[in-house]
Structure 1
Amino acid sequence: MSTDILEIARVQVLEEGRGLSAEQALRCLTLSDDRLAELLALAHEVRMRWCGPEVEVEGIISLKTGGCPEDCHFCSQSGQFSSPVRSVWLDIAQLVEAARQTAETGATEFCIVAAVRGPDRRLMDQVREGVKAIREAVDINVACSLGMLTQAQVDELAEMGVHRYNHNLETARSHFGEVVTTHSWQERWDTCLMVRAAGMELCCGGIVGMGETLEQRAEFAGQLGELEPDEVPLNFLNPRPGTPFEHYPLVEGAEALKTIATYRLALPRTILRYAGGRELTLGDLGTRDGMLGGINAIIVGNYLTTLGRTPAQDLELLADLRMPIKALSQTL
């Protein structure tokens, strides 16, 4: 029996559809750079076998930006740091217009995000109004990311018709205390379990490059595999001024691509989405390599507090790679 991790993955993941364990993921993350092309090629085969060629496109908008009471060390929206993001609310008309512009790119998902620990009554009421207005005006699925939820709030969002809920674990359980101190990893995990049980799709990922070890990066892949989210957004740290992580180095391109491919092998059937930081970490050529190394979804346009590539650039890339955009009817 072979002891080479890529030969093992070819049978276990590509042929049988069983994701890598945390221990196996670590072996991929520690492969030498001269095997990166081989790793990416296998991840692409896995993506094509278990997910197909289509790419899901999503846009995001912040309903409430800044002023968050939590101390997530990567986030410029925390009210505890000196980063230059201050609390701003959008109105319903702005939400609908942003959803309409997102749909015009071919996107099937539009995510409403709020910088909060969890939603209060005012926010839930505004989300209800926003979801209703968007669904009446635009042919697009509505997702939400509103922090930690109670069971009653989970049930209410499901009743509103929210298609998918995003709540990132951010990093491995063993590293979480170095990233956030005002709430626990378990609290995030519990929200994710409630979302899945309520019948909404679960979007749950994290950020690579927050001081975690390769062992912790592999641990996180295994924990996501246990959770089995419908979608995993992979962010790469974009160090923000005024945050505790402002001086952290960017993840190197080869390391980022190795992470992408490894997570695809750990999560063969999951929507694996390019999210924040890819522009700095990978650039245009690296972004292309990731699309051929396991990624099958992207966020187009800008992020919550940072700039992304233009939608036209990403759509042109998909056209060049002959990767069709997933149709809305297939996600309803």
Structure 2
Amino acid sequence: MTTQPNPRRTSTYPILETAREQVLAKGEGLSEAQLLEILELPDEAIPEALQLAHEVRLEHCGEDVEVEGIISIKTGGCPEDCHFCSQSGLFDSPVRGVWLDIPELVKAAKETAATGATEFCIVAAVRGPDIKLMNQIKFAIDRINAEVDINIACSLGMLTQRQVDQLAEWGVHRYNHNLETARSYFPEVVTTHTYEERLDTCNMVKAAGMELCCGALIGMGETTAQRAELASQLAALEPHEVPLNFLNPRPGTPLENQGIMDGKDALRAIAAFRLAMPRTVLRYAGGRELTLGDLGTREGLMGGINAVIVGNYLTTLGRPADADLNLLVELNMPIKELQKSL
């Protein structure tokens, strides 16, 4: 069985005692100021913070772990200048524009479903979809639904209201559009669009009835206070899911020399994001292999994470799917079963 919440105890760290009362007992996420205290805990407090985050996850989300696979229908050549992304056509990176055809997408969806995953996300490196891409997405959704029993998610950049309505009508289960970083740091990372433009798409997605997947990329040079700001801003948005990414510096991008985030800071962040959003699906995403390694991946799963992307990411290699699936078995963490709306 998965570890159950521990009996009531008193922490030597006041913020963890507060979090136990506020988040675990009442289900109320920590404030920005409180999150900063979590992110500034000393190294010796990390195990206790992760244990508390795990208890919060079990109490408010249950023990199931959601598994997802992702595939890029259009890779590279993006007109935006997100400084972390090798898919930008504005940088001298080795990624070049590639399109997948529909049979390849269907094949990838079948392979994803075979791992036990319940989510299959179709991603395109674009500012927003044009008519051609929307038509391809519609065709892909129809073909996948005809051959594979899996929920379909999309990540196609910024949307118009009409596009949001179309995706909802076509049965897209979840839409991914990350805030990436705190509002105060956003102009240091992206200059070709604004934080508010991203937020507009997120709000339209929620209003249309799709689940919102809205994530974070940490380790880009932001301050600890800005990490707390980001967690608080995501909590205010109330997304269904938050993918937690750690910067994997890519050659040719403005952040290629940023360096790898310290693993202990990453574990603090995992605990903080769970304590900010006790009921949200918190998903391991890109960069965890580099930042945390195998041991850290295990600690995160026992520290508040309750979803994983299996296999490779969009432009970087992930852990083998079997490695993550075997780890879930070892930790006695059941994989969430498919639940599709009728």
TM-score of Structure 1 vs Structure 2, range by shorter chain? over 0.9
User: SS in structure 2 opposite 1:173?
Assistant: coil
- Quick one: which of 75, 78, 87 aligns to 1:68? 78
Could you report, residue by residue, the CA deviation over 1:10-47 in whole angstroms, capped at 9, with x for unpaired residues? 01000000001111100000011110001000000000
| Unmatched segments (≥5 aa) in structure 1 | none
Structure 1 CA distance, aligned partners of 2:229 and 2:123? Answer: 27
Amino acid at match of 1:275: A
User: SS in structure 2 opposite 1:60?
Assistant: strand
Query: Number of residues paired by the alignment?
Result: 332
Q: Percent identity?
A: 69
Is 1:310 equivalent to 2:310 in the alignment? no
The offset of 1:329, in angstroms, is 2.3
2:311 matched residue in structure 1:
301
1:199-218 mapped onto 2 (5 Å cutoff): 199-218=209-228
Amino acid at match of 1:326: K
* Runs of 4 or more consecutive aligned structure 1 residues displaced over 4 Å after TM superposition: none
Structure 2 CA distance, aligned partners of 1:190 and 1:20? Answer: 25
The offset of 1:330, in angstroms, is 6.8
Contact (CA 8 Å) 1:108, 1:331: kept in 2 or not? no
Amino acid at match of 2:291: T
Structure 2 CA distance, aligned partners of 1:198 and 1:138? Answer: 25
1:31 matched residue in structure 2:
41
Contact (CA 8 Å) 2:151, 2:340: kept in 1 or not? no
Amino acid at match of 2:268: K
The offset of 1:206, in angstroms, is 1.4
CA RMSD of aligned residues (A): 1.2
Could you report, residue by residue, the CA deviation over 1:80-130 in whole angstroms, capped at 9, with x for unpaired residues? 000001101000000000000000000000000000000000000000000
Amino acid at match of 1:46: V
- Quick one: which of 283, 295, 304 aligns to 1:273? 283
Structure 1 CA distance, aligned partners of 2:31 and 2:195? Answer: 20
Could you report, residue by residue, the CA deviation over 1:142-181 in whole angstroms, capped at 9, with x for unpaired residues? 0000000000000000001000000000000000000000
- Quick one: which of 103, 106, 116 aligns to 1:96? 106
Is 1:160 equivalent to 2:176 in the alignment? no
1:126 matched residue in structure 2:
136
User: SS in structure 2 opposite 1:174?
Assistant: coil
Amino acid at match of 2:188: E
User: SS in structure 2 opposite 1:326?
Assistant: coil
Give the structure-2-normalised TM-score: 0.96
- Quick one: which of 241, 264, 272 aligns to 1:262? 272
Contact (CA 8 Å) 2:77, 2:96: kept in 1 or not? yes
Structure 2 CA distance, aligned partners of 1:271 and 1:10? Answer: 19
Is 1:11 equivalent to 2:8 in the alignment? no
| Unmatched segments (≥5 aa) in structure 2 | 1-10
The offset of 1:249, in angstroms, is 1.1
Is 1:321 equivalent to 2:331 in the alignment? yes
- Quick one: which of 30, 54, 60 aligns to 2:64? 54
1:222 matched residue in structure 2:
232
